């Protein structure tokens, strides 16, 4: 399913996604605090991350009211080859509508555009719904950080997506000589002089 298909399904369920703005911080923190509790980021940490040029943040809104009901963030410096899903949260009000999936698909696409070959995330080991979503998006478990989430002493499952769709490792030139066996027709050759 394409990102456009995912967005259409979410919109039909009453949610839409857009790039976050600085003035979304209060609404984001209103979700962050109850969802993450004592593990919540501070306002300053979130503000700094959202303003970082190496980060890409999204918000999910209810269609009609514009109420922010979810957010997600990516850290991926262009050309670095790697990215990290920093955070994702959906308000209980909007769960089950596909919003988390749409935001993840958008973050993965942005990581690919920024040249990432690998994308990482950490998830609480006691969150099977999130782990299932990430597995469905082709993330695989690559490690465990024992007792990572404190004071609950819950392990973090480290997951990796590789290759990142749209990233350099997902592109292929094909077998050597393929251009001779199946030459492009007139008009398909590169117009910019590239060979």
The model's confidence at residue 169, banded by pLDDT at 50, 70 and 90, is confident
pLDDT at position 33 is: 97
Tell me the per-residue pLDDT of 9-22, one tens digit each, with 9 for 90 and over: 566 668 899 999 99
CATH number assigned to the domain covering 3-172: 3.40.630.30
At 42, list the tokens. Answer: 């501070």
The Cα–Cα gap between 143 and 136 comes to 18
pLDDT at position 14 is: 84
Please state the rounded mean pLDDT for residues 156-170: 92
- Which of 75, 114, 122, 70 minimizes the C-alpha distance to 92? 70
- Which of 131, 108, 140 minimizes the C-alpha distance to 3? 108
pLDDT at position 178 is: 47
Tell me the per-residue pLDDT of 94-138, one tens digit each, with 9 for 90 and over: 998 889 999 999 999 999 999 999 999 999 999 999 999 999 999
Residues with Cβ within 8 Å of 186's Cβ and at least 6 positions away in sequence, in order, are: none
pLDDT at position 97 is: 86
pLDDT at 1 over 70: no
CB atoms within 10 A of CB 54: 13
For 107-142, give one letter per residue: b (16+ CB within 10 A) or e: bbbbbbebbbbbbbbbbbbeeeebbebbeebebeee
* Bridge partners (DSSP) listed for residue 141: 159
The Cα–Cα gap between 28 and 36 comes to 12
Map residue 76 onto helix, strand or coil. coil
At 118, list the tokens. Answer: 């690998």
pLDDT at 184 over 80: no
The Cα–Cα gap between 101 and 133 comes to 7
The model's confidence at residue 3, banded by pLDDT at 50, 70 and 90, is low
pLDDT at position 194 is: 46
Work out the percent of the chain whose per-residue pLDDT is above 70. Answer: 81
Q: How many CA atoms lie within 13 A of 37 on its CB side?
A: 5
- Report which of residues 35 and 11 the model is more confident about: 35
Q: Is 84 exposed, middle or buried (0-12, 13-18, 19+ CB in 10 A)?
A: middle
Is-contact 101 137, C-beta < 8 A? Answer: yes
Tell me the per-residue pLDDT of 40-96, one tens digit each, with 9 for 90 and over: 999 999 999 999 999 999 999 998 899 999 999 999 999 999 999 999 999 998 998
pLDDT at position 195 is: 43
Map residue 77 onto helix, strand or coil. coil
């Amino acid at each position: 399913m394409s990102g456009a298909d995912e967005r259409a399904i979410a919109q039909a369920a009453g949610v839409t996604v857009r790039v976050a703005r600085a003035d979304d911080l209060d609404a984001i923190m209103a979700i962050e605090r109850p969802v993450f509790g004592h593990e919540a980021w501070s306002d300053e940490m979130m503000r700094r991350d959202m303003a970082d040029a190496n980060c890409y943040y999204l918000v999910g809104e209810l269609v009609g009211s514009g109420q922010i009901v979810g957010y997600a963030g990516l850290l991926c410096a262009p050309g670095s080859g790697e990215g990290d899903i920093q955070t994702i949260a959906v308000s209980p009000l909007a769960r089950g509508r596909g919003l988390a999936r749409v935001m993840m698909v958008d973050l993965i696409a942005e990581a690919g555009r920024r040249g990432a070959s690998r994308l990482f995330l950490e998830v609480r080991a006691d969150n099977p719904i999130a782990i299932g979503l990430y597995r469905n998006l082709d993330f695989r478990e690559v490690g465990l950080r024992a007792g990572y989430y404190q004071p609950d002493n819950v392990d973090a499952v480290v997951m990796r997506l590789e290759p990142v769709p749209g990233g350099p490792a997902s592109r292929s030139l094909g077998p050597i000589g393929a251009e001779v066996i199946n030459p492009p027709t007139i008009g398909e050759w590169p117009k910019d002089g590239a060979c």
